[in-house]
Every structure is written in C-alpha cells, then in structure tokens.
Amino acid sequence: MNLFISKFLRGKFSKVFAMSFLLCGTLLSTAQELTKDENIQTRQIQELLLKAPEKAYEKAIKLTYSSNQFARYCGEYYVANYFYTKSDYPKSKELLSALLKRIAKDPSLNSQENYKDLMGMCVNKLFYLYKNLGEYNQALILITTYNDKIPGDRYQQHFGILKVAMGDYANGIKLLKNDLRTFRHLRLGAAEKKEMKDKLLADRHNEIGEAYQKFYLQTRQNKYLDSADAYFNRAAKLMLRDYFQADLTQALLYMRKAKSAALKGNYANALLFYKKRKLYPEIHKNLRTVQVFDLGMADCYFHLKELDSSVFYSKQFIKNYQVTKVSTENLLIAYSLLSQSYSQQKNTEQAYTYAQMSLDLIKDMDKIKNKSLDFLHNYDILSVRKESDAVLERQHYFKKIMLCMAFILVIVILSFYTYYKRQKEKHKRFLVIIQRLKEVKHVNFIVPENPAEDSGSKIMDEELIQKIRSGLARLENKEAYLKSDFKLVFVAKKINTNTAYLSQYFNQVLQKSFSEYTQELRINFALQKLGNSPQFRNFTLQAIAQEIGYKDATTFVKVFKKQTGLSPSYYIDNLNKKDL
C-alpha cells in the first residue's frame, strides 16, 4: 500500500514538475520578445539617432533598465550606436563587442531567433566600424566568425564592400548589386517605417556609386563615373521623396558630384560643388562628413595652386581625424597634400616632416592591407589552403613594391634635405666673405711681424726676414702676383735673395708654402674685383682665370673652391642677387 502511494505521488509530482517547467519556459520565451511599446521605442531610437542623437541616447539608456532582458540588450545596442554616430569608435567597439560576446556565450540566448537578429545587428555595426577604421582584416574575421548569424544578403554586402576596399571592384560591385536586388524585396519589420527602409536602400545605392568611382580610378573609363552618378541620384531621390534628412541628403549629393568632377580633372567645378556645404549647416552634426568636405576642398585648392587654402583644409581634416580616426587612406592623402604644398612654398622643413609622416603611415597601411588581401583572395574559392602559395607570392610582391617605394621616398627626402643643408652652409660662407671684404679693402695673408715663438723664425737672421718681408710687400703693392710667371725664382730675383732663403721664409715664418701664398693673393684679388665690378662678373671663367695669373679655368675653379669653399659661379650669382 505504501509502495503504491509512493509511486502515485511520484507520478503526480513528475507531471506537476513537467507542467511547471513548460509554463516557466513559455513565460521565459515570452519575456524575451519585445512588447509592442518596446518595439515602437526601438524604432523611435533608430530615427532619433539620425535626427537628434542626444534624445536617442536618453531613450536607449532608459531601455537598458527594462525588466525584459531582451529589451535591455537592445538598449545597450543603441547606446553603442549613439557613440558610433558621435564618432567615438573605441567606446562603440567596446560596448558592441561586450554585448556580442555575452550573447554568443549563452546557449539559452543565442539559439533564439530574436537574439540571433540582435547578434547580426551587432556584427553589422562592428563591421562598418572596422571598415571605417581601415581594419579590413578584423572586419573579415568578424563576419567569417559570425557568418551563421548574418542574413545571406548582408553577408554578400559585407564581402562586396571588402572586395571594393581592396581593389577587386568588378566582383565587389557584383556582390553589392546582388544584395541590392535582394534587399528591395524585403518586407517592413514590426513597427518599421518606410522611410527607414528607404534610408537603408539609399545607403546601398551610395555604396555602389562610390565603388564605381573607385573603379574609374583603376580603369579611367568614363562610363563608370556615369554609373556612379546614376546610383547617387537614385539614392538622393529615395531620401528626398520621403523628406527624410533632406538638407543632409542634398549636401551629400553635392559632395559625391564634386568627387566625380575632381576625378575627371575638373577641379574648379568640383570646388564649386564642395562650397555648397555653406548652405547646409546640418553636415556639422557629423564630423566624418565634414572631413570628406575638408579633404575634397584641400585637394581641389592644391590642383588650382591655391596652396594656403589647401594647407588650411588639410589641417582641418587632420584635426578632426584625431577625434574620428577615419580614415587611414584619407589621412595619407592629407599628409601628402601638406608635403607637396609646403614643398612648392619652399618650406622645406614642413615638407620633410609631412613626407616622413606619409612614409610611416604607408608602412602601417601595408601591414593591415597585406593581411586583408590573404582573406579576400581566398573568398572566391572559400579555401585558404588552395590559394595559399599564390596569395603569399602576391603578398611578397606587393610588400617589395611598397618597400621600394618607401626606400625611393626616403632617398628623395634625404637628398632634398642634404641639398638644402649644403645650400645653407654655402650661403653662410658667402656672407662671411662679403663681411670680410667690407671690413678690410686689402686682406694681407702674411702673418704679423712678430711670429710665435714656436714658429721656427729664429733660425733665420732677423735682418734677412725683414728684407724678404719688405720685398714681398713691394711686389704685392704692384700686384706682381697676377702675372703668370710669378714663381719662386722670379720673386727671389726681384727681392735680391736666393730661393733657399725664400722657401725657408715661407715655411718657417709664414708657415705656408709659396704656392699657398700665391693662391691666397690671387683669390683675394678676384673676390675684391668681383665684388666691386659688375662688369668683371660678366667675364667667362677662363677670362677671369687669365686676369689673375692662371692659364686655364679648371685650375682657377679648383683654387677658388679650396680658398673659399664656394664655386666661382655660385659666388658671382649671389653677388648679382645681392645687388638686385
């Protein structure tokens, strides 16, 4: 009897427990869905993120305190979206990554359709975040890791965007068009407004248009620019028919038309489009949009030779880049524009600085893009192993090209800097010579009458020293050193001494050779006459050489450089500039 009662009670208890479990499961499942009001709230937040981000943030924060766990997670997602909109990518990435990992690690959540959708939304936003930062490798790892959480059309879109980013425009555009065809036929979601879907549809048109612009750069075929403009116009039409973000839409359309004009080389027309920004203050709510206008105008001003304006807008872009960190490719363009602008303005120091910054950035971009190329080329066949050898070969070739370009750039910069430094030193020598000639009309290269004790002059008789000194002074006054036969024997004969005593005088008293003494006198004469006589500067180097006692110009040039550190031509050119 007791056994029967025990079995009966156990059976009843099991049924009650099973029914309780099913009821809890049903209640839990219901709790994970958004209520009608919460659905409307999320749609409102989506709209406000575009129109009034601060209000969207307030509503998203409130949603994070909901008793419904799924609603809380949606609130966290939209908080991360707020920081994305404000271009605070580090904060947005931190929040999205944390939310994605939390759901992925919990089997009771990631198996439910609504949580799968939320994971897909996180992946999508993180993808664009990595893409905007130029971290293509991370973007590809992300969508490959969570490919089962992403709708097939979105997966195509992501790969299309990455292929375009890495230069495979034909296949990238094909994927983006396939995604566009699929997206057109999707029905509106719960509480979703038509204008929000039109916004997403317009974004896809713009992505294809931008891809066509890049395709034009690769092929230089005008038909791709025509296609780009057609997709841009369709995107604008979608937005304007709903009167949704009308001012921003019109501003962005002008921006894209400006880029097409610039790609054709019509920078004046492009600049007119970019200047339309003044009519639409709405763009200042998004720094990334402002950056595109700034860089576009900087490029136009550079090609129109308005270098000060180019420098100004390039620096504006870099200033905003410190906030947005978007994008590395455009930052390189800004550095390049600054380097070239400063170079044309003869500001060699700034030109060198930005050229070096460009080189450093190229090295960083090379690392990122090489890794991404591995994945992208493998996507076509979905196998890393089958194409590994070919991809590695392309990697090495690309790396060698980049290293060669970097090496050439370094050589050019260093050569330019070395040339600049040498020119500066030569000009300094020139100014010293001019100053010396102003202070002393005739520079006597002979040492003072009382040579130093260790000069060795005591070996010679003091009377003989005085005799030679006086004789040399007489010859200098007569400018006898300008004669081609001004040799040691000639001088010894003129001052009534022998060559042995004369050589001893030069070596011990003057502490220089007779040849050095003659060279100093002749070059000093040439410096004085070139400075005082503009007519003498018009002489050929051969004529000047003969005028001061040399038979050929080669010897004269060699001696002139030895004495002054400058070439005769450089000295004469700078004298002429000084007189202007």
- Closest by CA position to 559, among listed 527, 519, 525: 519
Q: Which two tokens stand for residue 491?
A: 């001088």
Rounded to whole angstroms, how far apart are CA atoms 328 and 284? 21
Q: Are 129 and 141 in contact (CB under 8 A)?
A: no
pLDDT given at position 351: 84
Is the model's pLDDT at 34 over the cut of 50? yes
Q: Work out the average pLDDT over 387-395.
A: 40
- Closest by CA position to 360, among listed 298, 412, 410, 295: 410
**pLDDT tens figures, 474-484:** 999 999 999 98
Mean of the per-residue pLDDT values of the chain? 80
pLDDT given at position 92: 92
Angle between helices 113-132 and 69-85 (to 10 degrees): 10
Is the model's pLDDT at 283 over the cut of 80? yes
pLDDT given at position 23: 32
pLDDT given at position 173: 92
Residue matched to tokens 């003659």: 518
Range of the domain at 6: 2-31
Angle between helices 384-439 and 568-579 (to 10 degrees): 70
Enter the pTM of the model. Answer: 0.51
Please report which confidence band the pLDDT of residue 188 belongs to, taking 50, 70 and 90 as the band edges.
low
Domain count, the chain: 2
264 in any annotated domain: no
pLDDT given at position 75: 92
397 or 243: which carries more pLDDT confidence? 243
pLDDT given at position 399: 62
Q: What is the DSSP letter of 456?
A: S
Q: Work out the average pLDDT over 567-576.
A: 89
Is the model's pLDDT at 160 over the cut of 80? yes
Is the model's pLDDT at 523 over the cut of 60? yes
Rounded to whole angstroms, how far apart are CA atoms 93 and 83? 9
CATH code for the domain in which residue 543 is found:
1.10.10.60
445 or 472: which carries more pLDDT confidence? 472
Q: Which two tokens stand for residue 162?
A: 């990455």
**pLDDT tens figures, 1-19:** 343 334 433 444 344 333 3
Neighbours of 268 (CB within 10 A): 11
191 or 199: which carries more pLDDT confidence? 199
Is the model's pLDDT at 224 over the cut of 70? yes
Please report which confidence band the pLDDT of residue 367 belongs to, taking 50, 70 and 90 as the band edges.
low
**Per-state percent for the chain, helix, strand, coil, to nearest 5:** 80, 0, 20
Q: Which of 68-72, 402-406, 569-573 has the lowest mean pLDDT?
A: 402-406
Angle between helices 267-274 and 246-263 (to 10 degrees): 170
Q: Which of 7-21, 154-168, 501-515 has the highest mean pLDDT?
A: 501-515
Rounded to whole angstroms, how far apart are CA atoms 158 and 152? 10
561 in any annotated domain: yes
496 in any annotated domain: yes
54 in any annotated domain: no
Give the C-alpha distances (Å, rounded to integers) separating 165 from 231, 263, 377: 18, 18, 13
Contacts of 448 (CB under 8 A, 6+ apart): none
Q: Work out the average pLDDT over 225-230.
A: 92
**pLDDT tens figures, 530-562:** 888 889 989 999 999 999 999 999 999 999 999
pLDDT given at position 244: 67
Q: Work out the average pLDDT over 116-140.
A: 85
Please report which confidence band the pLDDT of residue 192 belongs to, taking 50, 70 and 90 as the band edges.
low
Rounded to whole angstroms, how far apart are CA atoms 93 and 125? 9
85 in any annotated domain: no
Alpha carbon 43 to chain centroid distance? Answer: 39
pLDDT given at position 385: 34
322 in any annotated domain: no
Please report which confidence band the pLDDT of residue 448 belongs to, taking 50, 70 and 90 as the band edges.
very low
Contacts of 173 (CB under 8 A, 6+ apart): 160, 164, 208, 211, 212, 215
Q: Work out the average pLDDT over 368-376.
A: 40
Q: Are 163 and 376 in contact (CB under 8 A)?
A: yes
Q: What percent of the chain has pLDDT over 70?
A: 82
pLDDT given at position 152: 67
pLDDT given at position 452: 43
Q: Work out the average pLDDT over 318-325.
A: 87
Contacts of 540 (CB under 8 A, 6+ apart): 553
Neighbours of 293 (CB within 10 A): 25
Q: Are 271 and 301 in contact (CB under 8 A)?
A: yes
pLDDT given at position 179: 86
Q: Work out the average pLDDT over 276-302.
A: 90
203 in any annotated domain: no
Angle between helices 514-532 and 568-579 (to 10 degrees): 30
Q: What is the DSSP letter of 277?
A: G
137 or 230: which carries more pLDDT confidence? 230
Is the model's pLDDT at 400 over the cut of 90? no
Give the C-alpha distances (Å, rounded to integers) separating 392 from 120, 142, 314: 32, 22, 36
325 in any annotated domain: no
Is the model's pLDDT at 66 over the cut of 70? yes
Is the model's pLDDT at 270 over the cut of 50? yes
Burial class for 18, CB neighbours closer than 10 Å (0-12, 13-18, 19+): exposed
Q: Which of 131-140, 441-450, 559-568 has the highest mean pLDDT?
A: 559-568
